[in-house]
Amino acid sequence: MTSSEVLSMYENIAGLTNQMAAAARMGDWNGLSKLEGQCADQARASETGVPALSGAQRLRKIDLLKQILANDREIRDIADPWMNQIPGMARQ
């Protein structure tokens, strides 16, 4: 995997998590689930080895990771109360 491919992968994941957050805000749980699968597929593709980045590329990767984590937090903040209403789905 080249450094350009690494950044492209993180940009794709950040875009998917943005869409997932939007789906959660709209209560579109089926759409969120579909996007979650796409995100997982994208993450599995990275298991082949991701080279270390430096300089501007490293900073861009850090920014993308921050976006991904912020989207994840928003999704959890929205989805957790909904999931807690479903018997057997409460998070431990």
Q: Hey, what CATH topology would domain 3-84 get?
A: Methane Monooxygenase Hydroxylase; Chain G, domain 1 (1.20.58)
Q: Cα(79)–Cα(24) distance, rounded to whole angstroms?
A: 7
- The pLDDT value recorded for residue 23 is 96
Q: Cα(67)–Cα(84) distance, rounded to whole angstroms?
A: 26
Q: Cα(71)–Cα(10) distance, rounded to whole angstroms?
A: 13
Q: What is the DSSP letter of 51?
A: -
| pLDDT higher than threshold 80 for residue 73 | yes
pLDDT tens digits, 19-54: 999 999 999 999 999 999 999 988 887 777 778 899
pLDDT tens digits, 77-91: 998 887 777 766 555
Give the predicted TM-score (pTM) of the model.
Answer: 0.84
Residue 18 pLDDT grade (very low, low, confident, very high; cuts 50, 70, 90): very high
